[in-house]
Amino acid sequence: MKKLFLFILCLLGASPVFCQQQIPLNEKHYLDSLQNILKTSGADSSKANANFLLVDYWKFKDTLKSKSYLLAGKKIAKKDAYSTALSYFYEGQYYFNWDKARASVAFKKAADALAVFTTKKAYARRAAAWYNYAIMNMDKGYGFIAKITLEKAIPDAEKTGDPTQVAQYYTRLATILMNNSQFAKATLYNEKAISLLEKAKKDKTSLLFAYLGGVSIYCYENRAEKAKVLLDKAYPLLKPFPESVNYTLYYYNETLYFTTIQSFNKALASIEKGIVLVKKYHQTQLYQMFLYSKYEIFGKQKEYKKARQILLDIIKEGTLTASMIDKATIYGEVAKTSAKLNDYKEAYTWLSKYRVVNDSVNSDQTNLKINELETKYRSVKNQQKIASLEAQNKQALLNARNNRLYNLVLGLGCLFLLVSLVFVAVIARNRSKLAEQKEINYRQQLSEMEQKQQLKVTKAMLDGEEHERERVARDLHDGLGGMLAGVKIGLSGWTDTQPGASQDKDLHRIIGQLDTSVSELRRIARNMVPETLLDFGLEVALKDLCEFHMRDGLQIAFEAFNIETSIPISTQLHIYRIVQELLSNAIKHARASSIILQCTQDAKVFLITFEDNGIGFDRKKQEQSKGMGLKSIRNRVDFFNGQLEIISGVGEGTTINIELNIDATK
């Protein structure tokens, strides 16, 4: 449930709670009041504002009406500076759902134009403009949205002096934090929002959104009892207004709750109610969210055919596959569902499509999965052929045995008929058991062969990498290093034969640069082939590696416990490379100033604990990056049938725990 819900939010770019539109629950009264303002002979600013609010009201339901009110409002707004600034905001609202680039530009213009006004209404609209600007730029990440919300939107909302305005942005900030798995903070801000809104007792629409936002957070944490409390509070707010557009969001959160408590039939009923309304209100993204929830439920019920059809319908509709990353994710889900149906050919087809879309992200891992699926598919075909041949052989043996028994029965007569039939039954049963055992043995042998082959491939790759490092280091040290040293000796000798050359500062500078180049070359060669490891063992080599990297502003604390010298040199080299890559990542990318490294051996288990105080990173973005650092570490850990745990967050440093089975490669 958790994994799916987070995936949906990331896939769509924002949940409905993110949307700035909060239509009052009594929509008819709200719409009638705006129309009355347009019909009266009131101030132009009031009419402009009424037109703009109608832009917001119709932007999802009828884009033509929304545009007509936008044009009418902009025409009136030309006479008033504040109304002109508002026109930019509602232009962004008009483009909100279908042209994010234009909407982003409009909201930024609105925020800048509203900066000169110091009224409460201006602060409220400026806060909304900043927040919507952040949402339109969601491709910059949730960190960007949180930054704009905390530094721009909430401060402007606080200037209004209206706690309900602040509460709205607490609700949205809670959703942002939830999407980044910071559930404690998300709960804190959402509870603050609910407290402010319940005390105010005047903005039921914002309170509804706060309740439903809390339902989402608690469902994500599998705290169904708390989600039920908020869901029960939300429904009475909606009940008096059966035509409210906000019912779609209520049914979506009701679906989350029923899915969390595994009441799948009720969840499906909520989905059907929601789908009827989202179609009515043209809420395309929310419609796809309902479909994806339906897919999840069918998957939990193991109705994989229905689940796969839902995904195929989502692909056909195209909303969720507009982004290449989202398309790759959907294709991957189709492949997994097909594999669960034992339809390996279809799974291989969709996984191939996934590879085409996503070949720039984790390409090696994807290729491996495709090869494994392809092998599995071919293996199934081969097993079918083998089974067919075995059946034919069994039939031939059975026919021969029947013929012999028939001749025996004819020879012995009716006296031995019963005994013969019993004997045949016993033999047939034994052969059946023997055939089943042979099949089990064959499968086990096939599995062992596949594991051994994978181990050989991985070992060959790692050995090839080390051999190439050794060759390059040798070429650098013996070839280029010797040449640079020869050039230095030649220059030094030349200065002895040239009068006045020894006083030439440029010449001495060039010789100094040659010295530096030779030292740097030897340092590179040393990193590629750790001579300390070969001469003194792993513990000394790791200590030397840490001391080599230490400098002003970087402290490395290294502790070693029970490291045996009997570890095979190839295993020591792999462990050394893992630590070397960890240090390199922390220094180059995390910009750490303090590192703690602990290495412990417990019999045939080798443990590595690595902590730094660097800038950390977003785990999801890191998995999508092209960097080879963590990938190299994972390959080596997998080679030892080990386990890799990474704990990190932006601005929170990084902790990495590695457990290696040093006997795994024997």
More confident residue, 535 or 583: 583
| Whole-number pLDDT of residue 536 | 87
| Whole-number pLDDT of residue 24 | 64
Length of the chain: 666
**In this structure, is residue 128 part of a structural domain?**
yes
Q: Is the pLDDT of residue 170 over 60?
A: yes
- What residues contact residue 606 under an 8 Å CB cut-off, 6+ apart? 567, 575, 599, 600, 659, 660, 662
Mean pLDDT of 410-424: 78
| Whole-number pLDDT of residue 337 | 92
Mean pLDDT of 507-511: 73
| Whole-number pLDDT of residue 29 | 78
Q: Is the pLDDT of residue 620 over 50?
A: yes
Mean pLDDT of 486-503: 67
User: Which tokens hold the place of 185?
Assistant: 């903070």
DSSP 8-class letter at 612: E
- Least confident interval from 6-10, 502-506, 522-526: 6-10
| Whole-number pLDDT of residue 371 | 36
Nearest to 238 by CA among 229, 228, 226, 249: 249
| Whole-number pLDDT of residue 460 | 60
Q: pLDDT-based confidence at 360, cuts 50/70/90?
A: low
| Whole-number pLDDT of residue 466 | 61
Among candidate residues 114, 140, 156, the one where a domain is terminated: 156
Report the largest interatomic distance among the alpha carbons of the chain, rounded to a whole angstrom: 126
CATH at residue 96: 1.25.40
CATH at residue 541: 3.30.565.10
Q: What is the rounded CA–CA span in Å between residue 624 and residue 360? A: 9
Mean pLDDT of 560-583: 90
Q: pLDDT-based confidence at 528, cuts 50/70/90?
A: low
- Least confident interval from 238-252, 341-355, 433-447, 498-512: 498-512
CB neighbour class for 296 (10 Å; exposed up to 12, middle 13-18, buried from 19)? buried
| Whole-number pLDDT of residue 286 | 84
3-state class (DSSP) for residue 551: strand
Domain range for 139: 34-156
| Whole-number pLDDT of residue 6 | 39
More confident residue, 445 or 69: 69
Helix or strand (DSSP H, E) at 157: helix 154-159
Among candidate residues 107, 128, 156, the one where a domain is terminated: 156
Among candidate residues 156, 173, 198, the one where a domain is terminated: 156
Axis crossing angle, helix 120-136 with helix 163-179, rounded to the nearest 10:
10
Name the amino acid, one letter, at 323.
S
**In this structure, is residue 88 part of a structural domain?**
yes
| Whole-number pLDDT of residue 365 | 41
| Whole-number pLDDT of residue 380 | 43
Q: Is the pLDDT of residue 7 over 50?
A: no
| Whole-number pLDDT of residue 501 | 64
Mean pLDDT of 353-358: 83
Q: Is the pLDDT of residue 191 over 70?
A: yes
Q: What is the rounded CA–CA span in Å between residue 334 and residue 326? A: 13
**In this structure, is residue 18 part of a structural domain?**
no
Q: pLDDT-based confidence at 516, cuts 50/70/90?
A: confident
Q: What is the pLDDT of residues 101-157, one digit of tens each?
A: 999 999 999 999 999 999 999 999 999 999 999 988 877 877 788 888 888 999 999
| Helical spans, DSSP H, in 318-416 | 324-340, 344-358, 363-412
Q: What is the pLDDT of residues 266-296, one digit of tens each?
A: 999 999 999 999 888 878 778 888 988 999 8
| Whole-number pLDDT of residue 14 | 37
| Whole-number pLDDT of residue 9 | 41
Q: Following DSSP, what letter does each residue of 576-588 receive, concatenated?
A: HHHHHHHHHHHHH
The pairing of strands 594-602 and 555-561 is parallel
Q: What is the rounded CA–CA span in Å between residue 349 and residue 356? A: 11
Mean pLDDT of 282-311: 88
**In this structure, is residue 61 part of a structural domain?**
yes
| Whole-number pLDDT of residue 368 | 37
How many domains in the chain? 2
For residue 414, how many other CB atoms are within 10 A of its CB? 7
Query: Which residues, in sequence order, are bridge partners of residue 646?
Result: 656
Q: What is the pLDDT of residues 31-55, one digit of tens each?
A: 778 878 788 876 777 888 788 888 8
**In this structure, is residue 574 part of a structural domain?**
yes
**In this structure, is residue 548 part of a structural domain?**
yes
Q: Is the pLDDT of residue 373 over 50?
A: no
Q: pLDDT-based confidence at 483, cuts 50/70/90?
A: low
Mean pLDDT of 523-548: 80
The reported pTM is: 0.47
User: Which tokens hold the place of 578?
Assistant: 């893992």
**In this structure, is residue 111 part of a structural domain?**
yes
Q: What is the pLDDT of residues 218-236, one digit of tens each?
A: 998 899 999 999 999 999 9
Average pLDDT across the chain, whole number: 79
Q: Is the pLDDT of residue 69 over 90?
A: no
**In this structure, is residue 292 part of a structural domain?**
no
Q: pLDDT-based confidence at 384, cuts 50/70/90?
A: low
Q: pLDDT-based confidence at 261, cuts 50/70/90?
A: very high
Q: pLDDT-based confidence at 195, cuts 50/70/90?
A: very high
More confident residue, 67 or 610: 610
Q: Following DSSP, what letter does each residue of 449-493 receive, concatenated?
A: HHHHHHHHHHHHHHHHHHHHHHHHHHIIIIIIHHHHHHHHHHHHH
